[in-house]
Amino acid sequence: MDIIKTLAEEFKLRPEQVKNTVALLDEGATVPFIARYRKEATGSLEDAAVRDISERLEYLRSLDEKREQIRKLIDEQEKLTEEISLALDNAVTVTELDDIYRPFRPKRRTRATIAKEKGLEGLAAFIRMQMTNREIEKEAEKYIDAEKGVNTADEAIEGAKDIIAEMISDDPDHRALIRRLTFEKGFISTKYAKEQENSVYEMYFDFSERINRIPPHRVLAMNRGEKEGVLSVSIEPPYEDIIKKLESKIIRGCKYTDQILRDTVEDSYKRLIEPSVEREIRNELTEKAQEGAIKVFGANLKQLLLQPPIKDKTVLALDPGYRTGCKAAVVDGTGKVLATGVIYLLPMHKQVEKAKDTVKRIIKKYGVDIIAVGNGTASRETEQFAADVIRETGGGLSYIIVNEAGASVYSASKLGAAEFPNLDVTVRSAVSLARRIQDALSELVKIDPKSIGVGQYQHDMNQKRLGEALSGVVEDCVNSVGVDLNTASPSLLGYVSGISSAVAKNIIAYREANGRFTDRKQLLNVSKLGPKAFEQCAGFLRIPGGDKILDNTGVHPESYAVAEGLLKKLGMSLEDVKNGVSVRDKVKNISALAAELGCGAPTLKDIIDELEKPGRDPRDEIPKPVLRSDVLSMEDLTEGMILKGTVRNVIDFGVFVDIGVHQDGLVHISQLTDRYIKHPLEVVSVGDIVEVKVLGVDISKHRISLTMKL
């Protein structure tokens, strides 16, 4: 297989783009580095495209490896023909390779192998020839052999049929045909295995849908229901179509063999082919559904990580709780913890007024700007408490609801204990909530991405594949924003291109021993950070207030000479850049200028963008989160009410929007826009601020239906 050609065709790219990208990957370059600093080689492929090529490359190479293993195994049996070799060359999936190898795979004792041991292969071949002009029983009598266990002609025929049935089952063309017919015309059906009242699986208690039309989220729901023992799931193939097709391929019209072969075709399909094809189709549906869900999870995670930071604000975080009270933490604009404690603000504790007095003193003492309320247990009551305090203090500050997902994981982790050894586990969660709104990216990288909770059915995924995909998303986000070399935590540094967790710790150790970094080149003094790692990481690390202004930009050190040459040609200096003088306004022709400077136009464009806003944070251009000062309840909602909300989660069939009533509302995919869309991500992303209209409220079921078609 020509892998470069295959990748170019699949991704609709020029072969040289793919060839160069693969070469860079093979050299050990990371995806962020390739996407950001090797645009001339890749044709300006984005990080997601480079990552897709990397993943597909790995699959195709493993496919090639398996192809050659199978070729060798068949050749060792001295059964490799030109036809089989060509079929192996043309196979494009693991399933196709498995089909080709099936007849040659060592088998456990089957009915067919037992029949072969009885010497019935000759009779099977005679029947398959379909050229006889006499009863098969006469031919079968020749194979009667009591010592071998063949006592009658009928027993001989049955054994021959077993041999033929296995041959039909082992034929790759037959399996491909059956798989295609089942997928195109078959149904996937569910019944209840254990009836439950008000079950989330109620719609699947008697459900059926065409296999080729079922959406991914239904596949995952069926799988979960089956795993929990609530549902039984089955594939209903187009049985008659399959049998007719098989018969047309096998039976040639001999009155003495036709019925025997009809019986054999039916037995082969029902006993040998149907069960394995059903497993294959279920697996294929699951894999595709999981890949789709992983992509949605990744897209949601990316938007969550890239939420604009709320900078230079002092935050009071309230992590709600019933029995143990509400954990509180005050964090200043730099992320430093100023105070922690527990307050009892629920009516059940009978200390509401005391709690209000405590919070008011904290607000005044530390100059709190924002109250962050976790969205877990007792969050509605805590939100109301925050709104009451804001009103009673005369306003001037706001509150925001924060997704708690993963906070408890962080607080109980070794990392949480190392960061705050003197704080109680529960209080660490409150600190994490405060820091999340100050800088979501820096805080959320401390948590396993799978625990952040912006997907669907994440616990049903292939956890290794999910972990790899989400780690890739985090890596892309961290490197797209850039990292302050002098303040970054080991967790954040560990996601920087070219930096391992061990090297991240070494950077921290060097920083603690030698003070602040003032020059990117000092990275070369860090233990185990050599020239290759420096090349990969340097452009993504920032040094605000360092010796060189370029060290606080995304300009790679390898391009410093180009940047300085550009400024010289424009009659500018680095001091002008520092003072905010526009570079872009002076550039007339990027291509011509790039040629003069000896670099590519994409690289020069990126350099100009960086010089235009040194130290810029791309997240600053995204709308800020919605801050609130008063609270609504579901009872306050009326049909037709128009509200502003924040998209909290995007799934296959719609989006959940926080409209400030504790319970997120659902905008079904059909209510997102008037135009046809395949997925909600075509319209919205996690963190988007949207206007919605209330369609309906079901208080008993805690459901709010919304529309964005205003």
- Whether 431 maps to a domain, the answer reads yes
Looking up residue 433, the CATH number of its domain turns out to be 3.30.420.140
Q: Which of 621, 652, 681 is the last residue of a domain?
A: 621
The confidence score (pLDDT) of residue 269 equals 97
For residues 670 and 260, what is the distance between their CA atoms, to the nearest angstrom? 54
Task: Clarify whether residues 339 and 374 are in a common domain.
Answer: yes
For residues 433 and 5, what is the distance between their CA atoms, to the nearest angstrom? 48
Task: Clarify whether residues 617 and 638 are in a common domain.
Answer: no
Task: Clarify whether residues 335 and 434 are in a common domain.
Answer: yes
- Whether 63 maps to a domain, the answer reads yes
Looking up residue 552, the CATH number of its domain turns out to be 1.10.150.310
> Tokens 């009071």 identify what position?
316
Q: Which class for 238: exposed (0-12), middle (13-18), buried (19 or more C-beta within 10 A)?
A: middle
Task: Clarify whether residues 604 and 641 are in a common domain.
Answer: no
- Whether 140 maps to a domain, the answer reads no
CA-to-CA dists, residue 160 to 125, 327, 389, 497, 670, angstroms: 8, 76, 86, 63, 57
Q: First vs last Cα of the chain: how many Å apart?
A: 52
Task: Clarify whether residues 367 and 427 are in a common domain.
Answer: yes
- Whether 462 maps to a domain, the answer reads no
CA-to-CA dists, residue 374 to 91, 348, 368, 382, 421, angstroms: 52, 19, 17, 9, 22
- Whether 230 maps to a domain, the answer reads no
Which of 26, 50, 52, 46 has its CA nearest to residue 606?
46
Tell me, what amino acid is at 574? L
Contacts 24+ apart (CB under 8 A), 510-518: 511/485, 511/486, 516/486, 517/485, 517/486, 517/543, 517/546, 518/543, 518/546, 518/547
Looking up residue 664, the CATH number of its domain turns out to be 2.40.50.140
Give the three-state DSSP class for 369. Answer: coil
Tell me, what amino acid is at 79? K
- Whether 523 maps to a domain, the answer reads yes
Tell me, what amino acid is at 188? I
Query: Residue 90 corresponds to which tokens in the numbers above?
Result: 């043309």
Task: Clarify whether residues 583 and 674 are in a common domain.
Answer: no
The confidence score (pLDDT) of residue 280 equals 95
For residues 188 and 207, what is the distance between their CA atoms, to the nearest angstrom? 8
Task: Clarify whether residues 674 and 569 are in a common domain.
Answer: no
Q: Where does 249-362 show beta strands of DSSP type E?
A: 315-319, 326-331, 337-343
Task: Clarify whether residues 598 and 683 are in a common domain.
Answer: no
94-101 vs 82-90: helix crossing angle, rounded to 10: 160
**Cβ atoms within 10 Å of 575's Cβ, excluding its own:** 10
For residues 301 and 406, what is the distance between their CA atoms, to the nearest angstrom? 13
Is beta strand 665-668 parallel, antiparallel or unpaired with respect to 315-319?
A: unpaired
Which of 195, 222, 197, 220 has its CA nearest to residue 207?
222
Q: Which domain holds residue 399?
A: 315-438
Helical (H) or strand (E) element with 603: helix 601-612
Task: Clarify whether residues 615 and 638 are in a common domain.
Answer: no
What's the number of domains the chain is made of? Answer: 4
The separation between CA 141 and the C-alpha centre of its own chain, rounded to angstroms, equals 63
Task: Clarify whether residues 590 and 667 are in a common domain.
Answer: no
Helices (H) and strands (E) in the chain, counts: 30, 15
The confidence score (pLDDT) of residue 245 equals 96
Query: Residue 385 corresponds to which tokens in the numbers above?
Result: 């408490």
The confidence score (pLDDT) of residue 628 equals 79
Give the three-state DSSP class for 587. Answer: coil
For residues 327 and 344, what is the distance between their CA atoms, to the nearest angstrom? 9
Q: Which of 51, 77, 104 is the last residue of a domain?
A: 104
- Whether 684 maps to a domain, the answer reads yes
Which of 539, 604, 599, 596 has its CA nearest to residue 569?
596
The pTM assigned to this predicted structure is 0.84
598-624 residues labelled b (16+ CB within 10 A) or e (exposed): ebbbbbbbbbbebbbbbbbbebeebee
- Whether 85 maps to a domain, the answer reads yes
The separation between CA 607 and the C-alpha centre of its own chain, rounded to angstroms, equals 31
For residues 447 and 484, what is the distance between their CA atoms, to the nearest angstrom? 19
The confidence score (pLDDT) of residue 631 equals 67
- For 470, residues 6+ apart whose C-beta sits below 8 A from its C-beta are 294, 297, 298, 301, 449, 450
Q: Which of 416, 438, 460 is the last residue of a domain?
A: 438
- Are 399 and 380 in contact, with CB atoms under 8 Å apart? no
The confidence score (pLDDT) of residue 284 equals 95
Task: Clarify whether residues 525 and 617 are in a common domain.
Answer: yes
Task: Clarify whether residues 551 and 641 are in a common domain.
Answer: no
For residues 163 and 124, what is the distance between their CA atoms, to the nearest angstrom? 6
pLDDT < 50 stretches in the chain: none
